[in-house]
Amino acid sequence: MHTIHNKLLSPLLLSLALLAGCAQQPAISPEDAKDGLLPRQTGLDSVSAAYAFDLSGAKVYLEPVGVAYNKRHTNPGSPLRAEDYELSEKDLARLQELMGETLSERFLAPRQSQLVADKSEADYVLQLDLSRFALGAPLDPQPWLWRVYTDKSAYGVLSGELQDNSGNAVMRFSDRRDIGDNFAGLGLAGRMDRFTSVTFWHDMKVDLRRAFGSLDESLR
């Protein structure tokens, strides 16, 4: 009887193991399937790359970072406008520099790869985007808002596509980011911390390091 039970149980356990293995496999998008990119296990929302993708010793050109803002509805009695929550040209330049620094530190350096300023010298071209981007408060100080508290510095969807010098996509990734999320505080809403441009740029740097660190692990 014990032997019969084992014979019945073994196929069941095998089926469960196969189902669990299938459930753990990342889904492949139609766009990735068309370009021959395979999904990778990741801590980000999604990462896909070409088979046996290897970026070792490569030169990478970073395109200007794209930012698309989440639609914001202003309160009728508020002096703030939707554009007060957008990045200035100076802020965009700083974001571009920060993206390059953290990408190099956490993703390129471990592969002995580097960013180059001349696109014609690059082996690969990378486009990074922040979509649905929303600041917790205006970065520029306002005379009537001398102290502002938020539960996070910003929110956005960070995505990227890496192409070889023939224009073929060799890697894509995407991840929703709560930037500077103060989740360790009061209840489900988290705690409110003071928002300033200093805290925003600090939180952005920490979050980008985490994102590119996760991307690095996904492709090892």
C-beta of residue 34 within 8 angstroms of C-beta of residue 50: no
Flag whether 46 is in a domain: yes
Which CATH number do you get for residue 108? 3.30.160
Nearest to 67 by CA among 46, 100, 91, 32: 91
User: Helix or strand or coil: residue 161?
Assistant: strand
Tokens of 126: 């990378």
**Domain span including residue 142:** 36-218
C-alpha span between 58 and 87 (Å, rounded): 31
C-alpha span between 141 and 144 (Å, rounded): 9
pLDDT at 193: 74
Flag whether 195 is in a domain: yes
Flag whether 6 is in a domain: no
Flag whether 23 is in a domain: no
Q: CB-side exposure of 135: number of CA atoms within 13 Å?
A: 22
End-to-end CA distance of the chain: 48
Flag whether 24 is in a domain: no
Residue with tokens 């070409």: 50
Number of domains in the chain: 1
Flag whether 31 is in a domain: no
pLDDT at 189: 52
Flag whether 157 is in a domain: yes
pLDDT at 196: 80
pLDDT at 21: 41
Flag whether 28 is in a domain: no
C-beta of residue 172 within 8 angstroms of C-beta of residue 32: yes
Backbone angles phi, psi at 53, to 5 degrees: -60, 130
Q: Based on C-alpha coordinates, what's the Rg of the chain?
A: 22
pLDDT (tens place) for every residue of the chain, 220 residues total: 444 444 444 444 444 444 444 445 567 888 989 999 999 999 999 999 999 999 999 999 999 999 999 987 767 767 777 888 899 999 999 999 999 999 999 999 999 999 999 999 999 999 999 999 998 888 876 665 667 777 788 899 999 999 999 999 999 999 999 998 755 444 445 567 777 888 889 999 999 999 999 999 999 8
